[in-house]
Structure 1
Amino acid sequence: MIVILTALAVEQEAVLAHLVDVREHRHTQGTFFDVGALAGHPGRQVAVGVTGQGTLAAATLTERAVAEFSPAAVLFVGVAGGLREWLEIGDVVVGTKVYAYHGGKSTDEAFLARPQAWAISHELEQVARRVQRARKWHEPLAPPGEAQAPEVYFEAIAAGDVVLDSRASSVAHALHHNYNDAVAVEMESAGFAAAGHLAGRVATATVRGISDHADGSKSVTDRRGGQQRAARNAAAFAVALAAVAPERTRTAGSRAKPVPSVSFGTFTQNAGTVGQQNGVNTGDFHMNLGEKR
């Protein structure tokens, strides 16, 4: 099982377009997921959920999805604002590192950044790079030769609870000075990455399509279909990754040993009590009774 989370409906629909035999799955707390098989990969089940915007919602529902499905991997898929001129609308960024950029200390002199960062799961990154090299992931987007394949970049991403649409704002300056290697900015992956980290061995990755350049032109690019294009491209790459992501395997020797089931009572010998055990014992237990004299 692979879990794919999105923040927006346009991102959810882009992922669901790649699934077949979709059924509704309702969590006991009311969260809905769509569960289906990847088209062309009937053995690969995917659960898709929508978190809504923001790091807190993303963290909460990531934890919920991991507990509900025990997935081999969790992907957060959607759109982002580009922080580099060389990024084109529709390009895909796989987050090699996710920054939570709101942490810091505010003083009279300045805001002192105290960043947190989470790296992509190494195995997922390696598989994602092979998906990129094969250059077949974009084939469902358009017939061959009709559209240029979007570029895929492996770079750092910054995430916080702000819609950034300016290159001159205080947030833009803070990102430039303190998180200069981040090439894209969005609103969910910090919470998602933190929850994945706390979940332990589950593999996580963020896949984002560039929908605007975070420079004041967001409304214009959105009207021109930038969000739809970015969501579609990110979803196509993510499902190609989900199709070949390794399933979780148990390492040799990691299987827990069964706890011995032993019943204990009171033993008597020559009207004397030899031993008595109450409660529960775990682990190996040995008892030697001497010969009767």
Structure 2
Amino acid sequence: MHKHNILSSSSSLHSVSYILDLQLQMSARKWEDLNMDCLVNVLTRVGIESLLLGAPFVCQSWYKASLHPSCWQIINFQKIERGPLSWYFYDGITTEFIKSIINRSRGNATAVWLPNDCTKEALRYIADECPALKALCLSDNLCYRYYSVIPELISKWKNLEELRLGRLSNMEKVFEEINCHCKNFHWLCASGANIERDTASAIVTFLPKIKYLYMRNANIDRESLEMILQGCKELVLLDARDCVGYECDDQLLMLASHINNFQHEGSSLFGDEDEWGEHISLDSFDGILSE
């Protein structure tokens, strides 16, 4: 599958502006005469920072286009956290800022990356106001702080297909809720998590149709891995690289023979926890964002 590459905010906006400017010069038309649907289509590709800091200040037409819900279907708060608007997450206005951005989608948001400093109020607001959500990214920090809240919110996202979890202590409850409410779910990232036997059993029981499972750097023993290999018959990709708790051999490869892409390199019985890290991009979800 091809990953969706989110364009650089500043360079993409300048490029888009330059191309559209040339087109308008050639046709001797004014900015306000440009078809609004065309402009909205362009602005859906420039990134959230450009939608906030660049596009609204070009002209009145760009301002109106930047407010269209289609421009706010993909919302990456984690990029804002690392950019010039990061101060919104440190001055006690995080909740209101998140709400204001979510409101721009008017219920049409399909993918959201939550910031580390997301409040419980903001998390519940997203659950209520984003019924069309297909992809959700939760950091380790959020999973640690709101582990008791996350399972109950899953029922709000009936269209959820892809989920990136941090090291959540009660993943089994999340998987049970996904099984009850998210019929098209097929993609899970639990990189660096503790995949104990109860967790592996929950994956097999509640996510039998999972197609993409990323658990690189996880703590998982051989029996738990065998359980997943035997129980998840529709897996297309299983990333179990650099895990601690098992070593791959011919028997495991035979159990994984039905998986097109089984990645196991670097795994060992024992490892150094200090070397664990995030190896899957938080900026991408395979599938949802490549559409």
Q: Same fold (TM over 0.5)?
A: no
Based on CA coordinates, which of the two structures has the bigger radius of gyration?
1
Structure with more strand by fraction = 1
Kindly indicate which of the two structures has a greater share of residues assigned to helix.
Answer: 2
